[in-house]
Amino acid sequence: MERIQSINPERIAWCCADRGIPLAVLASELDIASASIERVMAGEGGLTFNQLRKIADYFGRGVLFFLEAGPVDEAIVHTPQFRTLANQKPELSPKLKALIERVEKQREVYLSLREDLDDADRPLFNPPDIPRQNSREAARIVRNWLGLGSENSFDSYRAALEAKGVLVFRSNGYSGKWQIAKESPILGFTLYDQNCPVIVIKKQPAESRQSFTLMHELGHLLLHQTSSIDDERDFQSHQGLEPEANAFAGHLLVPDTFLAGIRDAERPDEVSQYDDWLARPRQIWGVSGEVILRRLLDAGRITQNQYEAYRQWRAQPVIEQEEGGNRKYRNREPKHVFGDIFVRTVFDALNARHITLTKASSYLDSLKIKDLHQLEQYYARL
């Protein structure tokens, strides 16, 4: 079989270093003989087109990337948003770096499809002017802008952001290219863009925690107008931009008018009973007990000791139900991961014959054609 001899070994080496992957691991994962790759790296051999395409797909590059002469220009290969996140968290895992790049490509797909459709009704990002030094007032303005009512859930918060031109992705609970690993401390990140920002949320057992992460990332987006990536420590940090994003999220999810409805006289003595005390507002507002208690703490209605005691109680290990099974609703996973506006845009482009079934499948997490039709029928019934 004919082999391509004009492969640039420097680019393979750069990709491996960028992802923190040794050449031997690359060869093993792609089922390519180590000796073949070693010869290429020494400038003494070539690869078949299929082998080179495997490498290109693995690193999320085009085949031509590895045929171009000269070193890699990182300023061109990585976007400013990607570099911002990588600088904030130099220890990012190779899989998370790959996920960030994958999200950026999905945004490019969405913008390209939106342009092809020329749909004036498709939402554009046009945030209101807000006082960036006043989280309470900023949250009030943004809450009105989003049109939030008195009852909400993660899904309604997500839909409100999507209606204002913000793409909201949620990592998949199953192992795969759209998952933020369960052991990863990363809870979410935002990629700032003046026309189409993206917020990515890690799937968590409690959707109420996802709601706070979503609004925390929105805080970075609107208050700081920057890309950001946050782990569990950042949400407890009292330094940098994190306290402002936390305060914004707290006021947006639990405004003062909501807080006034909490009756201090009914607060139990045991912190283990706080969740029962706050059960109704937690359900209606779609937030965790910790978010409400943090707002009560900032309002001077509970003590720091009470708040910390509750957090310690909540931190006790619990047995979580493992996700698994036969993925009966595999056809709906793209909606959960990419959001309603993205999926609808893909189907609109498919129905307008701007893209093929194969392209639509690739944009929707490589759904099988059968599952793609089932998802399309699901949307037709909505």
Residue 317: its pLDDT value, please? 63
For residue 81, the one-letter residue type is Q
**Which tens digits make up the pLDDT trace of 211-267?**
999 999 999 999 999 999 999 999 988 888 999 999 999 999 999 999 999 999 999
Residue 322: its pLDDT value, please? 43
DSSP state of 47: B
The full length of the chain comes to 382
- Check residues 381 and 24 and name the one with the higher pLDDT: 24
Nearest alpha carbon to residue 285 among 314, 250, 234: 250
Domain borders along the chain are 9-77, 80-100+124-253, 256-314, 331-381
Q: How many angstroms separate the CA atoms of 226 and 219, rounded?
A: 10
How many Cα atoms are found within 13 Å in the side-chain-facing hemisphere of 42?
8
Is 340:376 a contact under the CB 8 Å cutoff? no
Q: How many angstroms separate the CA atoms of 366 and 363, rounded?
A: 7
Please name the residues in contact with 298: beta carbons below 8 A apart, sequence gap of 6 or more. Answer: 247, 250
CATH number of 9-77: 1.10.260.40
Is 218:164 a contact under the CB 8 Å cutoff? no
Residue 381: its pLDDT value, please? 82
For the chain, give the percent of residues with pLDDT over 90: 80
**Which tens digits make up the pLDDT trace of 74-104?**
888 899 999 999 999 988 988 899 999 999 9
DSSP state of 30: H
**Which tens digits make up the pLDDT trace of 169-222?**
999 888 888 999 888 999 999 999 999 999 999 998 889 999 999 999 999 999
Of 82-96, 109-123, 283-297, 365-379, the range with the lowest mean pLDDT is: 109-123
**Which tens digits make up the pLDDT trace of 269-324?**
999 999 999 999 999 999 999 999 999 999 999 999 999 999 999 887 654 444 44
For residue 305, the one-letter residue type is N
Average pLDDT, rounded, for the chain: 92
Q: How far apart are the first and last CA of the chain?
A: 51
